[in-house]
A = this chain, B = another copy of it.
């Protein structure tokens, strides 16, 4: 039997809720996955120290629809890409993706090579757009092979609030959304119960499955990813990453932040190598700094718990102090940049505390906003940062992971994006 579209047998949604019928009628679902920022521990994590990664409430939204036109449509408006394939054509690729009773396996070089030939990508050159297409095809074919005899006809639109290549986990948010949508379309994960009016989340077991598939998509895009980004995209909140082990922290508070992209490009690989060289050159000077960063991550973890249990002004003061100290440490590691110094100075001049996040050497910085911060102060800081040529988002961290949305509860801007593409562009 060929199963197409939603496996109604697996639905665990409260039958009878307005969201349920709306989705069922349209045979469509909208999911979203958050970006990620490293709160503390970037670079130190490479040297065996603790890092804290948190969900960033800039999200990637994905709408998936079953169709009957025998085609697969992939629309990526952020990248200006809209592709479609005949399901029958895709079916010819299926030989490279045998059904496997085990869980997902890492993409093989042969699979990647076959997909590249199919898409028409020269072996080594693959830009963001091509990588996104490769990851989609990989997940579509692999999940299809595992859960259905025939491949489904689908329309998928992905739209993201996240900038790409800025170290904010945009590819993970894409892969997590894609894995969740495809697994849901095949009934491999259920149609989750709506705990809130606006959105719903999956069971721990289902989240594990989504995460594992998303991780394979990440491998297509990044080669050898740490798995932190897709874990944040899946679970959201805050994750502790230590010596390859990822642990989700319980009850993480949402913290308001200003996220700033200096737009200064950098090479993560070179920055990581630079830190390694510095640690080798000055081991007695640098190793204590890595230990101090480790202690910062642990102290931050403790304070996040306290913010939940007994929030006080002191908690936020400590979080600010940890930002300042770590920013100095990251400068010691040699991953600062004049653009980041400027970011810190501008925000400091408004009484706000910032640090770089991720690889450094440019890229993004985060600025903590206390709950009682004067909106005029935030606005003034934003204006000044924009005047520096930076891009700025007022958002929060500790955002939830992969979620299923009720269309009507989405922000108007997101609704409009999907309404623009209401009619399949085939």
Contacts and interface: CB of A to CB of B under 8 A. Distances in A.
Contact of A292 (B289, B295, B325): B289
A345 interface: yes
A341 interface: yes
Contact of A331 (B282, B285, B286, B328): B328
A338 to B, nearest CB: 8
Contacts of A296: 285
A298 interface: yes
Interface in A338-389: 341, 345
A299 interface: yes
A269 to B, nearest CB: 22
A295 B299 contact: no
B325 A299 contact: no
Of listed A295, A298, A341, residue having the most chain B CB within 10 A = A295
Interface string A283-321: 011101101100110110000000000000000000001
A219 interface: no
A90 to B, nearest CB: 54
Nearest to A291: B288
State how many copies of this chain the complex holds: 2
Of listed A286, A291, A292, A329, residue having the most chain B CB within 10 A = A292
**How many interface residues does chain A have, given as a range?**
20 to 34
Interface string A322-339: 101100110110000000
Contacts of A286: 292
A169 B329 CA distance: 31
Nearest to A286: B292
Given A282-B299, A298-B284, A341 B331 contact: no
Contacts of A345: 341
A288 B295 contact: yes
Contact of A285 (B284, B292, B341): B292
Contact of A325 (B291, B298, B332): B332
A321 B274 CA distance: 14
A288 B284 contact: no
Contacts of A299: 282, 284-285
A231 to B, nearest CB: 26
Contact of A329 (B284, B321, B322, B328): B328
A322 to B, nearest CB: 8
A83 to B, nearest CB: 48
A194 to B, nearest CB: 42
A295 B291 contact: no
Contact of A328 (B291, B298, B322, B332): B332
Contacts of A289: 288-289, 292
Contacts of A328: 328-329, 331-332
A218 to B, nearest CB: 32
Minimum-distance CB pairs A-B, first 3: A284-B295, A288-B288, A288-B292
8 contacts: A284-B299, A285-B292, A285-B295, A285-B325, A288-B289, A288-B295, A328-B332, A329-B332
